[in-house]
Chain A
């Protein structure tokens, strides 16, 4: 800044730009990676997805000798391989909420909507970029988790399943699909509630509090409702076995996708209508 010259020469922009969905997606990618909190959340999700199965595989193989036949029968190699998904979904969901609410709490949303006044491209870009990043990180994480946990169990030659056995690859990759959808669902919840604490609480209530509460209902009610909860329908995507109380993978995926689409649609309508 110079105070000596009275004229301030603002450099001219050489080439006129224009607003496109792809440009907005590029912008959202920059927003995502330039925050320390998003890098940490994603790193945590990867570590949990891979680390937890290793831990459970190690404990299971070391304690195998002391287990009763009944207990051994209840061990499920895929449950071990995908144990991390249950926890890493929380890291992904928190980040999904933050991707939107972080802009509201800091006021960044005003800058974003000034640059993109139609607003919806921001929502699509946020959801698209976050889904892509989550999926790209989740696929190798679950595959590594599967093969690494199998390798640990193989040392005692227990609980071995082949990746090519029916349903195994679908379950493993289903874990990544589930994480991706959870992320988009949480992002939509964040866009609806626009407040970090509120968004995370709403997600936690839906996924972690309501499902066990339903056990208080008469069991016929519980059995009728429970499979259609977002968390339970989503779980069907990455479970190998499907009992009477759960949906098959296909319908489970369809139900969970429907919830995600619904939440995103509500978020879109509110985003356009509300003042910022």
Chain B
């Protein structure tokens, strides 16, 4: 059976606020799938819908072919780290993990193994309320791995971790995916996703913006622009416009060309004996790609937020 998360037309409204708006996507095993969107775009809500913590207003989401609650051993199917803390502050890390493990008849040895794995050995008997944000995240990771699940659902896992911890999480996610598991990890940080994810699902205001590989997102956002530097820029410009390219020039001798490939430009220049000093296919950084993808969304939200602020001040 394929290990996948499948959402079809998933929607959730809270009162009259639309948090998730008709999301359809599939998360596949064996790769790290990044779930990207600005804060408040519906990532955490989607995670809760997958786990059945909230009921969808419309649509459906299944994990490994079933609704999450229909699995006979849910902790073996999905391990989850939710963004909001999900630990009783008065209980020790060890007791917290043991209580959750016991729901599936999993013993204390598994709990000890995971405490060692995430490096909480020394504070395992301390009450979780005294934990730092980073320690809390580590406990959350241990909780997610408790049932050795085929699918991992991690909401902003690097939040509050030190550089060492972040590095460890990246390796963990890649290792889990390499073992063939489904790894679905949300973040509002594009740079983080660039380092860990293979595939991206991008949302804004609860709607799907992109569902493609990291490379594709970058390529699409850069719009296939090519930077050309030449002493005979004006001549080249006319040549390229004849080939239906769009050409923009921001400084003398420099062209930004869209609509033709670097290869076509090179050939055209060669055919007419035009020397080229530079010919670069532009790669937008993932950060720029993300900004471009979610731009509309962010602009809309800023405009909308203004009256609310006025109302609060009055």
Contact = CB atoms under 8 A, between A and B. Distances in A.
A213 interface: no
Chain A interface mostly:
loop
B66 to A, nearest CB: 11
Interface stretch (A31-39, A160-168, A234-242): A31-39
Contacts of B119: 1
A34 B117 CA distance: 23
5 contacts: A18-B104, A19-B73, A102-B90, A110-B53, A111-B87
A113 interface: yes
Given A1-B165, A16-B73, A30-B95, A110 B86 contact: yes
A8 B104 contact: no
A106 B87 contact: yes
B102 interface: yes
A102 B105 CA distance: 24
A236 B55 CA distance: 43
B90 A37 contact: yes
A210 to B, nearest CB: 32
B69 A20 contact: no
**A12, A17, A24, A27 — which one has the most chain B CB atoms within 10 A of its CB?**
A17
Nearest to A273: B55
A115 B104 contact: yes
Interface in A19-49: 19-20, 23-24, 26-28, 30-31, 34-37
A16 B76 contact: yes
Contacts of A6: 171, 174
A8 B168 contact: yes
Interface in B107-160: 110, 113-114, 117-119, 143, 145, 147-148
A31 to B, nearest CB: 5
Contact of B91 (A12, A35, A117): A35
Given A3-B167, A7-B171, A23-B102, A106 B80 contact: no
A9 interface: yes
Leading 6 A-B pairs by shortest Cβ distance: A17-B104, A34-B95, A13-B148, A117-B69, A27-B102, A17-B105
A74 interface: no
Contacts, number: 151
A103 B88 contact: yes
Contacts of B71: 117
Contacts of B193: none
Nearest to A98: B90
A166 B165 CA distance: 69
A6 B173 CA distance: 11
B182 to A, nearest CB: 14
A116 interface: yes
Contact of A117 (B68, B84, B85, B145): B68
A136 interface: no
Interface of A: 1-3, 5-13, 16-20, 23-24, 26-28, 30-31, 34-37, 102-103, 106-118, 275-276
Interface of B: 48, 51-55, 68-69, 71-76, 78, 80, 82, 84-92, 95-96, 98-106, 110, 113-114, 117-119, 143, 145, 147-148, 164-165, 167-168, 171-172, 174-176, 179
A108 B88 CA distance: 5
A31 B103 CA distance: 11
A257 to B, nearest CB: 29
B54 A275 contact: yes
A107 B51 contact: no
Contacts of A116: 74, 103
Contacts of A114: 51, 53, 74-75, 78, 80, 82, 86
Contacts of A102: 88, 90
Contact of A34 (B86, B99, B175): B99
B90 A26 contact: no
Contacts of B75: 17, 19, 114-115
Contacts of A276: 48, 53-54
A35 B106 contact: no
Contacts of B101: 17
B175 A9 contact: yes
Given A1-B119, A17-B105, A102-B90, A107 B68 contact: no
B117 A24 contact: no
A75 to B, nearest CB: 43
A118 B69 contact: yes
Contacts of A19: 72-75, 103-104
Nearest to A7: B175
Nearest to A13: B148
A2 B175 CA distance: 14
Given A115-B103, A276-B54, 16 more contacts: A1-B168, A5-B171, A9-B175, A11-B114, A13-B76, A16-B76, A17-B105, A27-B100, A35-B88, A107-B84, A107-B87, A108-B96, A109-B86, A110-B48, A114-B74, A115-B74
